[in-house]
Structure 1
Amino acid sequence: MPRVVSLYLPTWSTDRLRRSLGAAAPPADAPLVLVGRDGRRRVVLAADAAAHRAGLRVGMAATKAQTLVAGLTVRDAEPAADADALEQLALWALRHFAPIAAADPPDGLVVDTTGADHLHGGEATMLTRMVARLAAAGIAARAAVADSWGAAHGLARYGLRPVLVVPPGGGARTVLDLPVAALRLPAGMAGKLQVLGLERVGDVAALPRAPLALRFGPELGRRLDQALGRLAEPIDPVRPPEIVEVRRAFAEPIGAAETIARYTGKLVVELCAALEVKGLGARRLDLLFHRVDNRMEAIRIGTALPARDAKRLTRLLCDRIETVDPGFGIEVMRLAAPLAEPLAPKQTLSALAAEPAADISGLIDTLANRLGAARLYRVAPVASDVPERSVQRIAPTAPDTGEAWPGRWPRPCRLLPSPEPIEALALLPDNPPVTFTWRGIRRRVTRADGPERVFGEWWKRDAELVAVRDYFQVEDDTGARFWIYRAGDGEDAATGSHRWFLHGIFG
């Protein structure tokens, strides 16, 4: 089932202007409107959030807006610049999230994420990341994912939440409660429907089609079917001019998995040849399938390092062929590398050359494309004495951080996400516990080593100026080994609560 994301940018024009002005932009809390011509009138064409809170609306006369809000910042609208920047934003979505992305003028993007959400930790995580990254760039956004472009478009603009995930198959039910303006109707048609008492999409869907088509034309029925997922709506993806791409058209549509795999291999060989000419290696590949019913299917894979090994790339793509629905047949296949990086030619090794280091990037690519890149990582040390701050997750192929693991005291192989409180019996101030109870199980300590004193990082926060932890390595009567600590030095109450915690497990 297709899954489509709609990104709604409610203040796109003013957000773009602020970004382009940089330090010269007006303050974020200063109302800003963009004006232009509507016939012979100068009207407000865009308003930021502060202007909306002040009561200004799109379509209002510019002179009235200036009268209502003292000190209003007024700039000329630039529709062409907004459209160009929206295309560039669509390229950003194409490179980072899914192989099919396009601008949805005047204030949105549409992204077909079918089969790509697992690479980003699921649909909810993916949408949250989209909105957060746009917000970090100063662009307000709302996002919704549904089974059709029409449903996602309406929910992103009229839904109750800034991030909305509609379960597969549930788009039709949620769309029925939206206002008729959510159907992307021509100007004025929504108002005419409201005059007739048709306020919601469900009101229109409940009426016979023939009278509606006679009065409003075929556009109303077409938009309704698209929103309900009854009629396919193809997305024409944006393609940057510098992208490396190859294609194959078929005289007769193909549909068998074996045939698709065979032509996939041929396209990969052609693409690798084109990449070699430019001295590039692919970091991301998109395989697009144009079906005879005007729908598109897509496969996206990524690589940990730049690659143009035809066999490896073909295998990664063919592993995902089972997710492709060919429908009544595929008439065009396109393979593109939306993200490519410089890759130097490999030197042929002689018998006298040293044995090269083991290359596990192929294994990393296979696991990342099956499980998602976010679930694949390795741990690296951080310069910190506080255990939970001394470890970080980095990409599998990331270079070493330059830090070394502490060698004075051994560390457990498993560190709990956060220390868990335990009930312990110990002789203060320096003795380890004799017994402790963790998760309802009482354990008797037979061996112990410590204490290892860890001080707080006073430059982080004031509470750590005198904070102390005393860590012990303990072994119970079953042979299990644990890493526990007492909060405080065992004497001064200002150094900690003197409660005991379990922080890690050895072995």
Structure 2
Amino acid sequence: MFDGITRRVVCMWFPRLASDRALRARPTDGAFALTLKQDNTERLYCLNPAAQALGLGRGMPLADARAFCPQLRTLPANPRQDARFMQALRRWSTRYCPWVGTDGVDGLVLDVTGSAHLWGGEAGMLADMAARLERAGLSVRLGLADTRGAAWALAHYGEGVSVAPPGAGLGAIGMLPVAALRLEPEAVTGLQRLGLRSVADLAGTARAPLARRFGPDVLARLDQALGARAEAVTPQADPPHYGVRLTLPEPIGRQQDVMAGTERLLAALCDKLHAQEAGARVLCLTLRRVDQASQQVELRLAGPMRDPARILPLFQRGVDGIDAGYGIDQLRLEAVQVEPLPVQQLSSSARPRGGDRLEDLLTRIGTRIGLENIQRVLPADSHIPERAFVLAAAAWSEPDSGWSAPRPRPLILFPPEPVQAQGGTPPKRFRWRRMGLSTLRAIGPERIAPEWWMQDDAWRSGVRDYWRVDTQEGRRLWLFHTPQSPGWWAQGEFA
């Protein structure tokens, strides 16, 4: 009781949240399930009612499920998208009350104290919730009680929409199983072995023996459900929205005016980013014309940025290609992708970052050919020459100075090319690419063995003995000899 008002809590449970979300995007008839790889086995993750009616259950191996139901249709589960969908449902639920929090991965909890009269009472509010969610294609179970624990018990173990009258206490949940108190499975099994199967049985048992045997958690959950111990409903704040808008009193059409409006939007957006210690990686400028058509300019940055002076010139190329038509009356700028960019401590002797100009250059080139087409070479953990490096997009990788090799490596590396050699090891004279060459100096050998765990046809012949050969003709080659099947090959050239 608070100022004469009884606290009332609603618990929403979505027993088939993942499958309902998938079926909203791709409806299908018949048995359907989402699968997730667990313990190196594909298992059923979430099922629709048709699949459950056929005897399938969550956690069943997919192979067994197909043996029971060959017509079962499946899709891979995506828990990350399910979490985003749950956040969307949380924001939607604030239409009933401002105090909304998540309850696990498939539930919501609402503190509707003092809000039910806006919907004509508790019955009208619950009916509106159930009707709207049903129209959205979502299965939901609703519970309403004085405490969060009791509302959770009614939603998970009640009948559809379950309501406990104010002050009902134990009478509302007494007949429910002890699992309705949100206990661990081990505790539930232990209580059932003692003959304590319902909440009423547990509430009527001496507390001291229970605490000694099961610890304090069982009694804490019982007290929370009955209201003897407070349990808060913690709302979640909405994530920051990095978007700004400018509506113009008169339409504009010149590129200079569009850039001036973009400059104003960038200043406001970068202030938001600075307050959150974040930087934008992808920006989207939307220009709405007076005929309601819209054009977009997307800017992909090579690194997180929040400096308007650096970002504004990068929009020039995209803005020059805009068709203003009869005029533009609204500009909207949004940071579509954001990354952390913490504030750095600077001293009087600190020098400006040299990487800023490199990121600006990568962004300018990336707007023409695409950021993913600008690549850098990074070291890889392999002693095989052609596997000792990887190509990565420069915008999403950092330079690595960890290059290490037991011997110098050639500047130019190419697939092995046959060499016609004669006269010892290394050869005194050999022919390569139709050129006759004579050995002036040779350094080696460096034996490199194949990586047996990798499937590479080029290295299945066995070990290679590499030599650095300087020729009298000026060519500096990297040759190798294969002892198991005698032969010489050229694979690189030094500068």
TM-score (structure 2 length as normaliser): 0.51
Given residue 452 of structure 2, which amino acid in structure 1 is its aligned partner?
W
Q: How does 1:94-493 map to 2 (within 5 A)?
A: 242-350=240-348, 353-355=349-351, 358-359=354-355, 360-396=358-394, 398-399=397-398, 403-406=402-405, 408-416=406-414, 419-428=415-424, 430-432=425-427, 434-438=429-433, 441-449=434-442, 450-461=444-455, 467-476=462-471, 478-486=473-481, 488-489=482-483, 492-493=484-485
Given residue 18 of structure 1, which amino acid in structure 2 is its aligned partner?
L
Taking the aligned partners of 1:76 and 1:474, their CA distance within structure 2 comes to 60
In structure 1, the partner of 2:489 is 501
Instruction: Tell me if structure 2 keeps the 8 A contact 1:35–1:75.
Output: no
How far off is 1:377 after superposition? Answer: 2.7
Given residue 449 of structure 2, which amino acid in structure 1 is its aligned partner?
F
How far off is 1:314 after superposition? Answer: 0.6
Q: If you compute each CA radius of gyration, which structure gives the higher value, 1 or 2?
A: 2
Deviation string 1:368-410 (CA, Å, 9 cap, x unpaired) is 333322222322222322101111224447346684321x321
- Of all paired residues, the percent bearing the same amino acid is 28
Given residue 403 of structure 2, which amino acid in structure 1 is its aligned partner?
A
What's the C-alpha RMSD, in Å, of the aligned pairs? 4.6
Instruction: Tell me if structure 2 keeps the 8 A contact 1:432–1:448.
Output: no
Instruction: Tell me if structure 2 keeps the 8 A contact 1:445–1:474.
Output: no
The 3-state SS of whatever aligns with 1:243 is coil
Shift of the 499–295 alpha-carbon distance from structure 1 to 2, 3 Å rule, reads farther
The 3-state SS of whatever aligns with 1:362 is helix
TM-score (structure 1 length as normaliser): 0.50
Shift of the 462–323 alpha-carbon distance from structure 1 to 2, 3 Å rule, reads closer
Instruction: Tell me if structure 2 keeps the 8 A contact 1:383–1:403.
Output: no
Instruction: Tell me if structure 2 keeps the 8 A contact 1:382–1:403.
Output: no
How far off is 1:299 after superposition? Answer: 1.7
Taking the aligned partners of 2:37 and 2:449, their CA distance within structure 1 comes to 43
Taking the aligned partners of 1:76 and 1:382, their CA distance within structure 2 comes to 38
Gaps of 5+ in 1: 1-8, 37-41, 43-68, 92-239
The 3-state SS of whatever aligns with 1:320 is helix
Deviation string 1:124-162 (CA, Å, 9 cap, x unpaired) is xxxxxxxxxxxxxxxxxxxxxxxxxxxxxxxxxxxxxxx
Shift of the 402–257 alpha-carbon distance from structure 1 to 2, 3 Å rule, reads closer
Gaps of 5+ in 2: 1-22, 54-66, 89-237
Instruction: Tell me if structure 1 keeps the 8 A contact 2:283–2:333.
Output: yes
Shift of the 267–454 alpha-carbon distance from structure 1 to 2, 3 Å rule, reads same
Deviation string 1:299-318 (CA, Å, 9 cap, x unpaired) is 22222332111111111112
Taking the aligned partners of 1:482 and 1:75, their CA distance within structure 2 comes to 59
Shift of the 34–426 alpha-carbon distance from structure 1 to 2, 3 Å rule, reads farther
Higher relative contact order (Cα pairs below 8 Å, separated by 6+ residues) = 1
Taking the aligned partners of 2:335 and 2:416, their CA distance within structure 1 comes to 47
Given residue 426 of structure 1, which amino acid in structure 2 is its aligned partner?
Q
In structure 1, the partner of 2:122 is none
Between Structure 1 and Structure 2, how many residues are aligned?
303
